[in-house]
Amino acid sequence: MSVPQFCTEYMLSSLAGKNLQRALSVLAEATGTTVILFDERGEAVVGPMAGTSLFRQLIETAPGRERVIAAHRAAISPNDERQAAALAGGWFDRFAIPIVRGDRRAGTLTLGDRPREPLPETVVRQLADAAGVGADLLLAAARELPCWTAETHRAVGNLATVMAEMFVSLCMQDEDLRHRIAELSAVYNIAGLFAGTLDLQAILDQTARMVCDVMKVKACSIRMLDAATGLLTIKAVHNLSWEYLEKGPVSVSANPIDRAAINGEMVRIADAPSDPRVRYPEQARREGLVSGLVCGMIYRGTAVGVIRVYTGEPHTFTPFEESLLQAVASQTAAAIVNARLMGETLAAERYARQIAYAGDVQRRMIPRQPPGCKQVEIGALYRPTYRVGGDFYDFIQLPKGNLGIGIADVSGKGVPASLLMASLRSALRVYAYFTYDVDKIMAEVNRHMCRDTSAGEFTTVFYGVLTPDGRRLTYCNAGHDPPMRLRHGRISYLETGGTVVGIDPAAAYERGIADLQPGDIVFLYTDGAVEALNFADQQFGRKRLAESLKRYADQPAERIVQNINWDLRRFRGLADRLDDVTLVVLKIR
């Protein structure tokens, strides 16, 4: 990205624009001048900011504003005499400070519009006529207009230069931030790649291709380690010839580069044809390989292979490129291990049939599709860790057009959790039909679950009743992750209720009321979404979950839950999903 381009993008960005407006407004007031920031094309991107009453009046009208901008633009190109005379016949001095990084001009800061001596009345009236403002008011403002002195002229010029240098620094910081965002995006995309397939060869082929695309290198090779023989065998490549690939297996013990990589070192190759550590330098020369970077694919302390990248020109790899290759190597190692273990994770045939049957029964308990509501658009998603799980959500059609909405998370996983879930669902439906008060419903459900649960078993439940017009949700939260209400970009939480159900039969519950407006979104979820872990053992967290909700808020409800689920999958990469995930979105029309 060129210097002018990134500076222009910085100037036009909303946050930077507001900050620049404030800074230049303060500069104008402090110096009693008019300040404008132009881009490299001579277009005014910030300002004019007027620090005097006279020029504030002038720029309030379109003709006056255009003339002020034209006069400042003329200061950038002083050879244009027609433009130089566009404002008061040259009565005003202006500075034009170029914004430069290296030999590139990214824009110009102009500052001035103070006269060298008091303005004659005829000049002020000419300005008033040209701008279409009242002459009397402008004459009064002209009497207060400060004139340049040698001292103020010099001081303001120095200050303008400092401001221009500060702006260059801001542009450079913004450029660095954009670069870091691009780098993080690359890591994010590569991690997302692994979420799409468990086919080992497909993962390796896609990884080799993706690494070349992201790192802008000539070629990539991935070798798998046979722990029994100590040999590295090529399993995937990108942009390498068949002749190069026919070199055969490489022994770790005889190759210092791969041995170091297997032991966790990042190995740098400045020039492959002349590096004494390279086993086949002549083949590297014929292949056009110059600089290289080699990293071991290590999963939980165990090496599974080596990944190499090469450039076609001399290149010094940056710390980011090294960390990126390290991240890819770690993710690929995990993908390899997971693929190898797939067969070992299959349950016995009899147990698998039982699980499949239980899963079918449980899926029939989950609504196939949300109910149709005129005032509310509903999207829902359920992803159990195993074929059966302890999460569930439900929609209950109630009298007078009310809609019951429940979501719950039973402690534990698998068949035991699914059985408790079925018991909870039945109890909730029975009591919801005959009792309207949600706090009383929750108390009855709690007593029912206390009879069905053993020590250490419990359930978090959120249940609410939505009015037919979609404007009020009466709810009770029994220890569940609090649903989010998104309104105008701000998140609030629905927390009123009580403790989890299934522990204390005497527990009391409260009900809460959430008033809703068109455009509001109510987001229900289980802790599997909040506690999802990546390979660094970092949780997805409620903050990321809220950011995902805001990011997709303008989409249909069903798309919102699908996209949030994809955010979770990309965050995890190929890390194990440790808990069920259930998402429900209510979008108020």
pLDDT for 80 equals 38
In a domain, 94, yes or no: yes
- Give which of 533, 542, 539 is closest to 575, Cα–Cα: 533
pLDDT of 85 over the 70 cut:
no
pLDDT for 79 equals 45
**Final residue before a domain boundary, out of 278, 312, 343:** 343
pLDDT of 6 over the 70 cut:
no
- Give which of 492, 435, 496, 491 is closest to 462, Cα–Cα: 496
Give the domain range for residue 479.
365-588
Q: Residue 101's pLDDT band (boundaries 50, 70, 90)?
A: low
Lowest mean pLDDT among 167-171, 368-372, 540-544: 167-171
Q: Residue 113's pLDDT band (boundaries 50, 70, 90)?
A: confident
Highest mean pLDDT among 137-151, 262-276, 373-387, 524-538: 262-276
Give pairs for 554-560: CB < 8 Å, separation 24+: 556/377, 556/379, 556/587, 557/370, 557/377, 557/378, 557/379, 557/585, 557/586, 557/587, 558/379, 558/585, 559/379, 560/379, 560/521, 560/585, 560/587
pLDDT for 497 equals 96
pLDDT of 4 over the 50 cut:
no
The residue-averaged pLDDT of 76-104 equals 60
The CATH number given to whatever domain includes residue 399 is 3.60.40.10
pLDDT for 471 equals 94
Assess whether 149 and 213 both reside in one domain: no
| Buried residues in 434-448 as b, exposed as e (16+ CB within 10 A) | eeeebbebbbbbbbb
In a domain, 359, yes or no: no
In a domain, 191, yes or no: no
Q: Residue 191's pLDDT band (boundaries 50, 70, 90)?
A: low
pLDDT for 335 equals 81
- Percentage of residues in the chain having pLDDT higher than 90: 38
In a domain, 308, yes or no: yes
Give the DSSP H/E element, type plus range, for residue 153: helix 150-194
Burial (CB count within 10 angstroms: exposed 0-12, middle 13-18, buried 19+), residue 121: exposed
pTM of the predicted protein model: 0.43
Lowest mean pLDDT among 37-51, 104-118, 169-183, 192-206: 169-183
Of the two residues 523 and 120, the one the predictor is more confident about is 523
Mean predicted lDDT score pLDDT of the chain: 84
Q: Please, which residues bridge with residue 485 across strands?
A: 492, 522
pLDDT of 125 over the 60 cut:
yes
pLDDT for 431 equals 93
Lowest mean pLDDT among 33-42, 257-266, 358-367, 483-492: 358-367
In a domain, 392, yes or no: yes
Assess whether 433 and 531 both reside in one domain: yes
Assess whether 296 and 384 both reside in one domain: no
Lowest mean pLDDT among 242-256, 440-454, 553-567: 242-256
Assess whether 258 and 161 both reside in one domain: no
pLDDT digits (tens, 9 = 90+) for 432-450: 988 889 999 999 999 999 9
Assess whether 222 and 162 both reside in one domain: no
Q: Please, which residues bridge with residue 246 across strands?
A: none
Using the structure block, give the residue that is written with the tokens 């002549």: 282
Backbone angles phi, psi at 495, to 5 degrees: -115, -15
CA distance 440 to 448: 12
Assess whether 412 and 446 both reside in one domain: yes
Of the two residues 135 and 293, the one the predictor is more confident about is 293
pLDDT of 84 over the 60 cut:
no
| Domain tally, the chain | 3
Pseudo-torsion of CA 286, 287, 293, 298, nearest 10°? -120
pLDDT of 320 over the 70 cut:
yes
pLDDT of 251 over the 80 cut:
yes
Assess whether 144 and 214 both reside in one domain: no
pLDDT for 83 equals 34
Assess whether 302 and 375 both reside in one domain: no
Name the residue type at position 450. Answer: C
**Final residue before a domain boundary, out of 343, 374, 392:** 343
Q: Residue 348's pLDDT band (boundaries 50, 70, 90)?
A: low
pLDDT for 392 equals 85
pLDDT for 3 equals 41
Which runs of E-coded beta strand occur in 167-248?
219-226, 231-238
**Final residue before a domain boundary, out of 176, 191, 224:** 176
The CATH number given to whatever domain includes residue 323 is 3.30.450.40
Q: What is the CA radius of gyration of the chain?
A: 34
Q: Residue 81's pLDDT band (boundaries 50, 70, 90)?
A: very low
Assess whether 258 and 397 both reside in one domain: no
Quickly list H helices, 453-501.
Answer: none
pLDDT of 197 over the 70 cut:
no
How crowded is the C-beta side of 495, counted as CA atoms within 13 Å?
Answer: 3
Alpha-carbon distances, residue 224 vs 21, 46, 212, 231, 493 (angstroms): 57, 57, 19, 8, 49
In a domain, 315, yes or no: yes
The residue-averaged pLDDT of 375-390 equals 81
pLDDT for 155 equals 84
Q: Please, which residues bridge with residue 396 across strands?
A: 404
Assess whether 35 and 128 both reside in one domain: yes
In a domain, 53, yes or no: yes
pLDDT of 347 over the 50 cut:
no
pLDDT for 354 equals 58
- Percentage of residues in the chain having pLDDT higher than 70: 84
pLDDT for 194 equals 64
Assess whether 295 and 398 both reside in one domain: no
Assess whether 416 and 480 both reside in one domain: yes
In a domain, 348, yes or no: no
